[in-house]
Structure 1
């Protein structure tokens, strides 16, 4: 269960005003373990006097530790840095914007969701293909294969396939599998949710999972080829306008 009151302490003590703060990671993906930490992500707004000077200011704020019994990993980016990431094929920042696990929001966050829809392109498939390949390598290198990196592989591939086909950012593996109907996903999620964060697989069928990884990779590649999503984002002017207004806020 997510304790928003405890999460809000990080909003109130943040050195800069926040545009939004949402939860990412295993809680967003639908398979937190009992001892999973909370990945708090968001956008902060540097003051005007900082950004007009020679120094860049604190583009990224990172803080992690145990606070009131919760292990929290906080990462926020300044609005300009975050908006530039939105204009690239970075699915991770889009997942943060659209995360339904909202700790703190503003009217600008709602506007950002509207703008973000025009940042989605078919080339976001490359983000998910690359992320899945990295996670598969991590899974394959382990002497005792863990459930966590394997679930990340499937989550990333299904998110990419869904995005290419629908233009909708969906990061929750439970929701994604309601459509994909992969019979082994529910068992893997149950192992992850009910066991420790570093839980391992019992007699993992590596050949089977490699076959599924390769099959879903091909499916994502095919979805990319067939996607009707645009080639380029069309949100730059709106992001620029929002950034100027954020900078001018007191």
Structure 2
């Protein structure tokens, strides 16, 4: 599959005349709880040749391939990515922590990772994860019977909020590491581990009676997260200059490469 993904990325570079600076896995595979039939969520950051940016026209700044049963591939132009990075965009910051990497420019990845702490906003990221947990809980975990695999799509962002509150940093990418750090030992942890084992073993997790101890943890923790976020200071607008320098240097590298 890695060969197929690499071939798709090369085809994108050729068709769109871009240079892919970084490509990685996101979603359930990167989070550590893929199912047997999970697709591949490939995300990438790319840059055009310098002349592409010298225009008064607004141009499309994403590249998206049609989704099939196995592959979901899309990417952001570097200028778009840096603007979102300045706003502490959690998905982008997660990409930079992924341990499944398909393509990378070492200078670019190191430069972005070195800037992560400077542009990390606990408030923005925690709000992102809270909304994700709240929406998935409301959409999939109400009633006596629930879509059991959706527990992970509520627990991970909820635990990410707790991590941010405690550590003031981006949470670990892997669910196992996050759960180990933030879940108390005992029955709750055991039930979560059982579900994780079932999911990663490839067992079909359909609609089942809800797991009461997990359900109670979610219902008790959501309002606690909402409460502590109300007291956090608002975000300050972060400087553009370091990202401008990175952008100009990436353009210079791309000019030399082409």
Task: State the aligned residue count.
Answer: 242
Structure 1 residues without counterparts, runs of 5 or longer:
none
Partner in structure 1 of residue 225 of structure 2: 220
Displacement of 1:223 in angstroms is 6.0
Picking from 191, 195, 218, the partner of 2:198 is 191
Q: Choose 54-63 or 230-239, whichever is displaced more.
A: 230-239
Partner in structure 2 of residue 109 of structure 1: 109
Q: Choose 41-50 or 212-221, whichever is displaced more.
A: 212-221
Displacement of 1:224 in angstroms is 4.6
1:1-250 alignment, distance < 5 Å: 3-14=1-12, 15=16, 16-66=18-68, 71-106=70-105, 107-123=107-123, 124-140=125-141, 145-166=146-167, 167-181=169-183, 182-195=189-202, 199-205=205-211, 208-221=213-226, 224=229, 231-232=235-236, 234=238, 236-248=240-252, 249-250=254-255
Structure 2 residues without counterparts, runs of 5 or longer:
184-188
When Rg is computed on C-alpha atoms for both structures, the one with the higher figure is 2
TM-score (norm 2): 0.82
Q: Choose 90-99 or 161-170, whichever is displaced more.
A: 161-170
CA RMSD of aligned residues (A): 2.6
* 3-state SS of 2:71 partner: strand
Measure the CA separation in 2 of the matches of 1:25 and 1:220: 23
Displacement of 1:96 in angstroms is 0.9
- 1:86 to 1:141, Cα distance in 2 relative to 1, 3 A: same
1:61-100 residue CA offsets vs partner (Å, 9 max, x unmatched)? 111445xxx8110110001111111122421111011112
